[in-house]
Amino acid sequence: MKAHEIMISNVYKVKETDNIRSVIKKFIEYHISGVPVVNNKNEIVAYISDGDIMRYIGKHKDIFIDSIYTVFIIKGDTEDFDERIKKILDLNVLEIAKRKVAKVDADTEIEDVAAILGKKRIKKLPVEKDGVLVGIISRGDVIRHTFKSIL
């Protein structure tokens, strides 16, 4: 089975010229946690997830993790949290998004998709054909389609 056979072809995405506000609106409206970032040719140029935004929100703090249960915040800036959030919303998506995007071709075998998702510890992979975004495939898609005929 190939990626294009189980991918979702109606992909939520944002443009490279969009700001974080438009990303957050998509996350909230569609109950999603990440989207590909595309240029005007629909080529994948980056990927942004809720984790990327979360890391950016916390970027102002130096955090020391003593153990799995103990976290010390060493220092932080004095800028008001609400003010930082307002500034983040106006940032261009490419200021936070990951530029090195794991992606697969539409003809990639599902076993290879599963291996990439597992090895890279990511939830979703954009799918492209001839360099253009055509879909997205998630860990759940792979699990559902792999096991549905035997359960």
pLDDT in tens, 73-130: 555 555 677 787 888 999 999 999 999 999 999 999 999 999 999 999 999 999 999 9
Q: What are phi and psi of 25, to 5 degrees?
A: -60, -40
pLDDT of 59 strictly over 90: no
What's the CA gap between 38 and 26, in Å, rounded? 15
Q: Provide the pLDDT for residue 58.
A: 76
Q: How many domains does the chain have?
A: 1
Tell me the two tokens of residue 21: 């506000």
Q: What is the mean pLDDT of residues 4-30?
A: 96
Q: Which domain holds residue 93?
A: 3-147
pLDDT at position 87, please? 87
- Whole-angstrom distance, CA of residue 60 vs CA of residue 62: 7
Q: What b/e string do you get for 105-143 counting C-beta neighbours within 10 Å, with b at 16 or more?
A: ebebebeebeebbeeeebebbbbbeeeebbbbbbbebbe
Portion of the chain with pLDDT greater than 70, in percent: 85
CATH of the domain at 36: 3.10.580.10
pLDDT > 90 in the chain, percent? 74
Dihedral (C-alpha) 99, 105, 111, 115: value to the nearest 10 degrees? -10
Residue (of 20, 51, 39) closest to 122 by Cα position: 51
- pLDDT at position 69 over 80: no
